[in-house]
Amino acid sequence: MNAGNTRLPIIAVSRCLLGEPVRYDGRDKEAPELIAAIRPHCTILPVCPEVEAGLTVPRPPIQLIVDSHGNYHLMGRDDPDLDVTQPLHQFASHFCHAAQKLSAAILQNRSPNCGVADTPIYNSAGIQQSTGDGFFSAFLKNSYPELPITTPQQLDSSEEINLFIQRATAYNGS
């Protein structure tokens, strides 16, 4: 790390984890202990791909679909004609282009956008095929392969939180 670099790492955090009622059902997934633990060590950048892409709260639930060609789509869980892939792709592209100073991300687990390795992935018939990264987290990982990205479930102890902050700080200085 550059000794002259005193800037706090910028960590993108899912807005629902910050207590904002932005989920599809108008609820949050507030993680007050986690947020209190990281806040003194970073600058928090709130992010909700769905809201920032212009989707409403509440909104119909979506799921991550992989088609027969291996392309990923964000489709309505209950309405297969609902396709929100394009606005979410535009948001992810814009965010990643503007996120050059980002040091890390803490994203909501199992989300079709924000999940990290635990998002259910379905085929076009609606049958779960696997689990993997959500649409937004995959886009972020592809844009910044070394960026530390995690979920609240992976930060379940003060030791894990401290290690994550260290990784974000090291990335910040690179």
- Can you give the pLDDT of all 174 residues of the chain as single tens digits? 334 446 899 999 999 999 999 999 999 999 999 999 999 999 999 999 999 999 999 999 999 999 999 999 999 999 989 999 999 999 999 999 887 789 999 999 999 999 999 999 999 888 999 999 999 999 999 999 999 999 999 999 999 999 999 999 999 766
What's the Cα-to-Cα distance from 24 to each of 74, 105, 107, rounded to whole Å?
A: 13, 21, 15
For 160, the 3-state DSSP assignment is: helix
- Whole-structure pTM value: 0.93
Cα dist from 132 to 27, 111, 128, 136, 161, whole Å: 24, 10, 11, 12, 22
Model pLDDT, residue 71: 93
pLDDT of residue 80: 86
> What's the CA gap between 171 and 49, in Å, rounded?
23
pLDDT of 7: 85
Q: What is the pLDDT of residue 99?
A: 78
Residue with tokens 């992810």: 92
Contact 24, 108 (CB under 8 A): no
Residues in the chain: 174
pLDDT on residue 174:
63
For position 6, what pLDDT does the model report? 62
Per-domain residue ranges of the chain: 10-169
- Helix, strand, coil % (nearest 5) of the chain? 35, 20, 45
Which residues are CB-contacts of 18 (< 8 A; sequence separation ≥ 6)?
28, 30, 35, 44, 46
